[in-house]
Amino acid sequence: MANPPLHRQSPSLLARYEKVIAVLIKYGFEDVVAHPPFSRFLPRIEKYIPRRGGKPVTEYTRYERIRMVCEELGTTFIKFAQIAANRPDVLPDGLISELERFHDHAPYIPAQDVLSVILEDLGNAPEVLFASFDATPLASASIAQVHRAQLKNSREVVLKIMRPGIDVTIKEDISILKQLASLVETYFPQYQAFQPMELVKMFERSIRKELKFSIEANNLRRFARQFEGNERIYVPELFPEFCSERIICMEYIEGCKITDLEALSKIGWTGPELALAGINLYFEQVFDHGFFHADPHPGNIFVMPNRRICFIDYGMMGTIVDSDKELLADLLLAVSNHDVDELKQALLRFTPDGKVDNEKELEYDIIEFFDTYSDISINQLEGKEIIEGLNAMFFTYKIKIPPNLLLLLKALIIIEGVGLFLDPHYNIIANIDPYVRRLVKHKYNPKKIARRAVKSLAALAQMTSDLPEDLEAIIRKLREGKLRTEFEHKGLEGLYQKIDQASNRLAMAIMLAAIILGSSWLIQAEIPPFIGHISALGLTGFLVAGLLALRLIIAIWRHGNL
């Protein structure tokens, strides 16, 4: 649905527009806001244009200034940048590197606002609901902050509480982002490859999920079910009686961060052991269950005193279906085997029609990609470099990757960083290889092939049974004269223009011939009046024909067809 005109927007949204435009101008994006509907604000915001003291803004790259704009505009734009950084198939490496620099931090929510959210959503004040409640937050992020509390049965819990009014702010900012994306697509064709409107829509879907804490609670329940009975992993208990759309209450985890080497040694873990065990648990999430933690940075992974590993914060989770797991397996196996043709075919399987514009160039880029690692064994390959190399090919050849698969590739880079911190010799490619080969083996399992064949036969049987009715419907429409066929021609605009041009030239040539023939007849018939014994009408006709002929010659010469 289109956004309403600016004059019908709420005062708070108009004020937000003014702020956004002021920041864009501050960082040198005057060209973006010089178009409607934003241009109407320009007279009101001249005061915001800075003198650019110190280092001039013009000395920063455009990508750096984009990051600065998002940083200054706050929560929504920072979140948008973080989510957009997950699209290496759309955005270039330089811009992604800048957007990845964001850290999710925010000032504390005032204590009174926290108490108001608890009262409104849970029906009572914290002192009534809990044995104790700590008003000082454990952590604060752009959307919510976390507080520690104790239930009346002495269980230690944490409450994740949404910032009051953040949903309204995000809704207004999404409206502005859509206007900006539309403007960029209309007036800046050089940025259309970044697909700004698609990025905004992707962000809108993602942020709306984060704003519904009930979804995060369901994610936690699902994660707990899939690891039920697994003694190597621990999932925090959820307390639904203290949960709402703006509050999540879950068990407080006693443990240390996965990167606290000193605390880990007291528990009995060595870095290499934990790297292997923890990341293998992550591979189980991906390849066995198809439901994985999409933000596995060190702050979200704890190790408990009983040596169990615990993932926290289930707001950003990814789902990967079997078909995409098999595509990923083909991709990684081709990399592992240094197989140029297999990697090319794996990449092409992500495209709608199995083709790219420059397939031969893609093949040469793959050869160059492998040449980089020709003298390196599989045990020495770095996953981050491999995935970034693949991402570069996604972007260059406009290969569209399913969003959740991109989310997984991003998560694999993060989890590899954790592994390398624990064990400098850890290698994600070598450790993921058995899971990948198991997937490929499963893909070509005779039983699975037989099941696919049965499904295909069932679909064929259904189509065959429907065929008589379909044919009858077609014949009936033919008899009634209602059968229509639609053709859509693409890429013929140039041909239409050439045909139109040729038609015009042909018409002019016919006119010239007619004028010349008519003028010759007038002169030969000696039709008065005369100019020196020559028919004036005939002579005028020859002059007009000469001028038209000259114009036609010039037109043909200008288009290089003379």
Structure confidence by residue, pLDDT tens digits, 90-110: 788 888 888 877 765 667 889
308: its two tokens: 């169990």
Pairing of strands 301-303, 530-531: unpaired
Residue 58: predicted pLDDT = 63
154: DSSP letter:
S
Q: Which long-range contacts (CB under 8 A, 24 or more apart) does 174-182 make?
A: 174/76, 174/200, 174/203, 174/204, 174/207, 175/3, 175/9, 175/13, 176/13, 176/16, 176/17, 176/20, 177/76, 177/77, 177/80, 177/203, 178/3, 179/3, 179/37, 179/38, 180/20, 180/32
Tell me whether residue 507 is in a domain. yes
* Among the ranges given (196-205, 377-386, 517-526), the one the predictor scored with the smallest mean pLDDT: 377-386
Tell me whether residue 257 is in a domain. no
Tell me whether residue 400 is in a domain. no
170: its two tokens: 């995000």
Pairing of strands 309-311, 301-303: antiparallel
Collapsed DSSP state (helix, strand, coil) of residue 43:
helix
Tell me whether residue 359 is in a domain. no
Give the residue, 464 or 101, on which the prediction is more confident: 101
Residue 281: predicted pLDDT = 94
- Type of residue at 339: D
Full DSSP string of 184-236: HHHH-GGGGGG-HHHHHHHHHHHHHHHT-HHHHHHHHHHHHHHTTT-TTEE-P
Provide the domain limits for residue 513: 493-558
Per-residue b/e over 116-129, b at no fewer than 16 CB within 10 Å?
ebbeebbeeebeeb
Tell me whether residue 520 is in a domain. yes
Q: What is the mean pLDDT of residues 527-535?
A: 74
Tell me whether residue 535 is in a domain. yes
Tell me whether residue 328 is in a domain. no
Give the residue, 432 or 523, on which the prediction is more confident: 432
Cα–Cα separations (whole angstroms), residue 154 to 133, 157, 252, 312, 467:
12, 9, 12, 21, 68
Overall domain count for the chain? 1
Tell me whether residue 67 is in a domain. no
